[in-house]
Structure 1
Amino acid sequence: MTLYEDLDRRFFPGFKRQKIQGSDGDIQTLVGGSGPPLLMLHGDPQTHLCWHHIAPELARDYTVVLTDIRGRGESHKPGRTPENVAYSKRVHAREQLDVMKTLGFETFRLVGHDRGARISRRMALDFPDRIERLAIMDIVPILDFYENTTAKVAQDYYYFFFLTQPSPIPEDLIKGSPEKLTRQILTGLPGQVALYDPDIFEAYLASGASEEAIVAMCECFRAGLSQDIHHDREDREAGRTIVCPTLVMWGEQGVVGTHFDVRGIWSRWAPDCTFAPLPCGHFIPEEKPALALQRLRDFLK
């Protein structure tokens, strides 16, 4: 039994592990529970394991689908591509839609944290007929992020600007001790109060240590500047917004909560929006899982 198989057996009892073939590679997927379909997408530098407090509870009422997004965990990890297109959130979104279609779900509810929230938002904008309800955790859209960045934001979220440097500058620097960067992000952000399960924390460190995972992380952040920000500008110019009911959650003590006008920004992108600030930092699913679960239950039903 592999490390990931053991952790899934322990933390997601009753969930079925499977690899789903996409157009570019395999996506590691877990499915558990019964009821309306619900896709949950994790952030960086984590994997689907970040939902271990929340997903088993939601599986009482929903068919919960957890994936490792491309570049993380046991899913495929494309290398460098021209203009970082392999890691655009649009490509991510299409891949996750294919996973759900393979499982037989044409429409579904959607929850995303961090990078998973960026993918979820893009999915709701590009495929509005597929998403019934959308829950977003602790981001502002990438266009608004860069337009409103201050020196303090750049200091607190330093890796947004480090990881986007031309290849192979950040890759070479990270390779010397990849666990140090992962550990710093998971434990060193402002307002951070997460209490990680020790075995899951070690799995996060291991997941980000390979050379292909390091490339994937850098390419995903580069795609924010080369692809995602361009797609956001197109949407803004066209007046395109998210049409489904949307829940926006954020940590009041984190970078997003302390430096951005979350309500103002998201009101422009999602007119049918509900706001839920939480007393924590960035890693909501592992900092305030009980509160997050209650907000999700109230919203998703």
Structure 2
Amino acid sequence: MLFPESFSEKSVILNLSQEGIRLPATKIFTLHHSSVSNTPARDKKVLVLLHGYPQNHTLYYELVHELSALGILEEWDIVIPDLPGYGRSSKIPSADGSHLANSKRAIASDIVSLINALFGSQQKFVVAGHDRGARIAYRLAKDHRDRVLGTCIMEIIPTKVVFQRMNYLDEHRMTFSTYHWIFLALPPPIPETLIGASSDFYFSHTIESWTGTRHRGHFDPIAVASWDYRAGASIDLEHDEDDERNGTAIVDCPLLILHSVEFGHKYGNVNEIWEALGVPGKVRIKAVGDDQVGHFIPLEAAQEIAGELVPWLNTLHAYAS
């Protein structure tokens, strides 16, 4: 988990209260901004922000600051949890080795339980996710179509496509750049032991190589477990393949796909990939930042992300006045 050290103090200024829920085998910590409007609970506008690896909720401080500057916090409740297994949230892994507890499907269900606890079981919401959080957002949009009004996906392509791109072409460029997908998915305690032997080096190297030149040195690294990646290499792929067989792979809510310029160079056909998985006319795709912006776009390109997010939120038909 990576975060600006000053976040806790500034979260108070931005009126982000600390809350949490307990579920069987899961504890979720979250920050929650309550809008200043007098909107009845059933009509609230709710935006959920999901971080990725290896961060926690504080990845979104800069973005929340920019959203505040654009006035969105007056009308929207913002929910920013630590994903189960990250930060101050916890998740007990599956005892049977299935990794089901850490699957994107299970975590998506946990997020719905969080929303139910905060707002009630009828509350609809918009979800935005980065990295692993984007994969959960994508799963939320497929598994909870009656609750998710729109999905913003940042800096990913679908899991299956990433694994398919790991090959010998282009001197193994894709395989080398995503080696952690395989390394972190190895059976315990292999990655835990090797990372623990030199955690400072591992996380410093990871962040330096993923962050754009303008923001290097901004993060403080702390180790997290790799159960998320074990699920990603197994049960998550099974769920995605089930979607393809069952005809449920298409996301029917509006999609906003945001990625760095470098990400577009790396994967090439980002537009083609996501347009095939959304409804024509409901998919907006945009590269943000410049060639100095790296993987952590909610932080590195926060102003531009907010500038894309706010007008998109305002177009969602369920929130039209």
How many residue pairs align between the two structures? 285
Task: String of CA shifts for 1:123-157, please: whole Å, max 9, x gaps.
Answer: 10011111001100000110111123332111112
Matches within 5 A, 1:143-162: 143-150=160-167, 151-162=172-183
Following TM superposition, by how much is the alpha carbon of 1:12 offset from its aligned partner in structure 2, in angstroms?
5.0
- Structure 1 vs Structure 2: percent identity of aligned residues? 28
1:187 pairs, out of 208, 220, 225, with 208
The 1-side partners of 2:309 and 2:202 are apart by: 30
Q: Tell me which of 263, 270, 273 is aligned to 1:262.
A: 270
1:12 and 1:52 in contact (8 A); partners too:
no
Per-residue deviation at 1:80?
Answer: 5.8
Distance in 2, matches of 1:4 and 1:23, equals 31
Q: Are residues 124 and 75 of structure 1, via their aligned partners in 2, closer, same or farther at CA, if it must alter by over 3 Å?
A: same
Which runs of 5 or more structure 1 residues have no equivalent in the other structure? none
The 8 Å contact of residues 57 and 82 in structure 2, kept in 1 or not, is answered as: yes
- Identify the match of residue 237 of structure 1 among 239, 245, 252: 245
Check the 8 A contact 1:148/1:260 in 2, yes or no.
no
Deviation at 1:180, TM superposition (A): 2.3
Partner of 1:85: 100
Consecutive unaligned residues in structure 2, runs of 5 or more: 36-43, 315-321
What CA distance in whole angstroms lies between the structure 2 residues aligned with 1:283 and 1:60? 26
Match of 2:310 in 1: 297
Q: How does 1:1-301 map to 2 (within 5 A)?
A: 7-13=7-13, 14-34=15-35, 36-56=45-65, 57=68, 58-79=72-93, 81=95, 82-105=97-120, 106-150=123-167, 151-189=172-210, 192-193=212-213, 195=215, 198=218, 201-202=219-220, 205-206=221-222, 208=223, 213=224, 216=225, 218-240=226-248, 241-254=250-263, 257-271=265-279, 272-278=282-288, 279=290, 280-301=293-314
User: How far is the alpha carbon of 1:270 from its aligned partner?
Assistant: 1.4
Counterpart CA distance in 2 for 1:92 and 1:192 is 29
Amino acid at match of 1:248: I
Q: TM-score, normalised by structure 1?
A: 0.88
3-state SS of paired residue (1:111): strand
Task: Tell me the alpha carbon deviations over residues 259-298 of structure 1, each in whole angstroms, 9 at most, x when there is no partner.
Answer: 2421111112112211011233211011111111101112
1:23 positional shift: 2.8
Alpha carbons of 1:229 and 1:12: their partners in 2 closer, same or farther (altered >3 Å)? farther
Q: Offset at 1:197?
A: 8.0
Counterparts of 1:148 and 1:170 in 2: how far apart (Å)? Answer: 23
Contact 1:22 1:99 in 2 (8 A): no
Contact 1:193 1:287 in 2 (8 A): no
Identify which range, 137-146 or 81-90, moves more after superposition. Answer: 81-90
Q: TM-score, normalised by structure 2?
A: 0.83
Larger Rg: 2
Helix, strand or coil at the partner of 1:37: strand
**Amino acid of the residue matched to residue 277 of structure 1?**
A
Aligned partner of residue 94 in structure 1, secondary structure:
helix
SS in 2 for 1:28: strand
Name the CA distance, whole Å, in 2 between partners of 1:170 and 1:224: 15
Q: Distance in 1 between matches of 2:126 and 2:85?
A: 23
User: What is the alpha-carbon root mean square deviation over aligned residues?
Assistant: 2.2
